[in-house]
Structure 1
């Protein structure tokens, strides 16, 4: 998720994940001036569709000088690094190359930070005793990585890395964090087939897909959201039961030996 910036009384704030957090001064301009040439990660992903990148099994090691061939691969590797370690890595700050073409926004530098980075700042203007604020997971965590794509290089370089957290890492994040529960295109295609042609509900789809994707978490809410999205896009109308009955009656018409007997309570 990209961030929006506002400057209030000399302080910079970032609108992030529905919250406003105070940008951390420690994240600014803390990279080394000399580019260190380290290993190139992600060469195996070159030429692949970014939506079909596989889960990375080999432990990922990040350090100053580590390089990537593109911002897309760099972002994916950092996301997978977080998944392996049990936390979510978010995009935090971006800087673009200067260009005379206002439509050409090539990324020059980017900061990735722990999801708990920054300090929560309420947007509410009511008196504090009249506010009913929700809790925030922001702990001002300093974990962050700076990357740079200088004009003199074809690679994305890690120029600074602070790899320590100020909070406990929850191992369950690997399975339950929203960022890691997203269904890939392969799973979405199978859900779509089950919805459009099988008129299946979330419970049935989970039972069908879980054996095929044992490492994927299929929460009812996630499946329901995916099903409703497909129904809107494919203009599938009617309830699951009515659609199933229509499907079976059509099959009965095509195959006279098939018997369908609706039961009405």
Structure 2
């Protein structure tokens, strides 16, 4: 499998892959050793798992809410071994549609452009109110 020099490089590669393919990631599991060093890290598709209601209520009173969780099985496990980070498991299967331009639909990727930030700063500096 793939190997990386450090955790930052590994996470960056996983993030870039997800954006290229068209899905969002979540950091699901992190394990550290007794020296507080990360030794295992799992990333999953944002739609992994199933919706679980936090509120305990009678079934008659519960509305059926639509959830983004569709039990997607995409996941990657990364482990530190011999000073390098290795991919020890990669399940590439998604059970949902992927987005060609995930950055356009995902709140995680939405950012103000430098031009927008400059305009906001200009308007604030001249005392413009909304």
Coarse TM-score class (shorter-chain normalised) = 0.7 to 0.9
Q: Establish whether residue 78 from structure 1 lines up as the match of residue 18 from structure 2.
A: no
Q: Deviations over 1:85-110 (max 9, x none)?
A: 111122111111123xxxxx321101
Q: Establish whether residue 158 from structure 1 lines up as the match of residue 87 from structure 2.
A: yes
The answer for the alignment partner of 2:120 in structure 1 is 195
Superposition TM-score, scaled by structure 1 size:
0.44
- Displacement of 1:182 after TM fit? 3.2
Larger strand fraction of residues: 2
The answer for the alignment partner of 1:137 in structure 2 is 68
Equivalent pairs, count: 130
The answer for the alignment partner of 2:80 in structure 1 is 149
CA-atom RMSD, angstroms? 2.3
Query: 1:1-265 residue pairs with structure 2 within 5 A?
Result: 65-99=1-35, 105-150=36-81, 153-183=82-112, 187-188=113-114, 190-196=115-121, 198-199=122-123, 239-240=129-130
Seen in structure 2, the aligned counterparts of structure 1 residues 159 and 194 have a Cα distance that, compared at 3 Å, is same
- Displacement of 1:137 after TM fit? 1.2
Residues 113 and 144 of structure 1 are in contact (CA less than 8 Å); yes or no, is this contact kept in structure 2?
Answer: yes
Superposition TM-score, scaled by structure 2 size:
0.84
Q: Deviations over 1:173-222 (max 9, x none)?
A: 34221222235xxx45x4443223x31xxxxxxxxxxxxxxxxxxxxxxx
Distance (Å, rounded) in 2 between the aligned partners of 1:66 and 1:134: 39
Runs of at least 5 residues in structure 2 that lack an aligned partner in the other structure = none
Runs of at least 5 residues in structure 1 that lack an aligned partner in the other structure = 1-64, 100-104, 200-230, 241-265
- Displacement of 1:171 after TM fit? 2.8
Distance (Å, rounded) in 2 between the aligned partners of 1:118 and 1:133: 17
**Secondary structure in 2 aligned to 1:119?**
coil
Residues 27 and 44 of structure 2 are in contact (CA less than 8 Å); yes or no, is this contact kept in structure 1?
Answer: yes
Seen in structure 2, the aligned counterparts of structure 1 residues 238 and 170 have a Cα distance that, compared at 3 Å, is closer
Q: Deviations over 1:215-247 (max 9, x none)?
A: xxxxxxxxxxxxxxxx6xx9x86515xxxxxxx
Distance (Å, rounded) in 2 between the aligned partners of 1:75 and 1:168: 23
